[in-house]
Amino acid sequence: ALEPVTPWMGHDTARHYQYYPFVNLGHANLAIDKTAASQEYVSFMRKGLQGIHNKAKNDPFQLGIPFIWCSNNLVTAALTQAQLYFQASGDSSFLEMEAALRDWLFGCNPWGTSMICGLPAGGDYP
């Protein structure tokens, strides 16, 4: 069955790995393909990102993802989908959210810790 929106997007919580894989790259590939169905897949991507964006409005870090075990996987998935959506549609509606997601991974978070091992060199990371 067709899954229009990655299920965790727009939710407050999820069980560990409940919605794996965290991003649907099939939607992105079909959206970028420029076929008759491309706009339908662009709209699926937008709907998922809009759910995240709506939740992010009330978050000081502009993160609209559920904070669960391994939530950085969700941050990375949302960041990936936002960039692929922009490439497929040219719509810049989610670029600010995309930047906030990226910034979170690089240390703009309550701990001031990069979530990328080895970055920055000599910095605070896992």
How confident is residue 17, by pLDDT bands cut at 50, 70 and 90?
Answer: confident
Domain boundaries, the chain: 1-126
* pTM of the predicted protein model: 0.92
How confident is residue 16, by pLDDT bands cut at 50, 70 and 90?
Answer: confident
State the DSSP string of 14-47: --TTTT-SSS-HHHHHHHHTTSTTHHHHHHHHHH
Has residue 90 got a pLDDT over 90? yes
How many CA atoms does the CB half-sphere of 65 hold within 13 Å?
25
Q: Note the pLDDT of residue 12.
A: 87
The model's pLDDT over 22-51, given as tens digits with 9 standing for 90+, comes to 999 999 999 999 889 999 999 999 999 999
